[in-house]
Amino acid sequence: MTAKTLPVLDSKSALLLLVLSALWGGSFFFGDIALQEVPPLTVTLHRVIWAAPIVALVMKLKGIAFPRSLLFWGASVVMGALNNAIPFALILWGQTQIESGLASILNSTTSMFAVVVAGLFLADEPFTFRKFVGVMLGTAGVVFIMGPDMLGDFSLGNLAQLAILGGSLGYALAGVWAKRTMSGHPPLACAFGMLICTTFLLIPIVLMVDGAPRLVLSIPVWGALLGISALSTALAYVLYFIILTRAGAGNVLLVALLTPLFAIALGVCFLGETMAPEIWIGFAIIALGFAVMDGRLGTLLMRKLSIIAHS
**pTM for the predicted model, two decimal places:** 0.91
Cβ burial of 219 (10 Å; 0-12, 13-18, 19+) is exposed
Note the pLDDT of residue 110: 93
Note the pLDDT of residue 299: 60
Note the pLDDT of residue 4: 42
**Cα 274 to Cα 277: distance, rounded to the nearest angstrom:** 10
Query: Among 92-96, 178-182, 211-215, 247-251, which stretch is predicted with the lowest mean pLDDT?
Result: 247-251
Label residue 215 by pLDDT band (50, 70, 90): very high
Higher-confidence residue of 3 and 259: namely: 259
Q: Please give the average per-residue pLDDT across 91-104, as a whole number.
A: 97
First and final C-alpha spacing in the chain: 24
Note the pLDDT of residue 147: 81
Note the pLDDT of residue 3: 40
Q: Does the CA dihedral 118-189-41-243 come out positive or negative?
A: positive
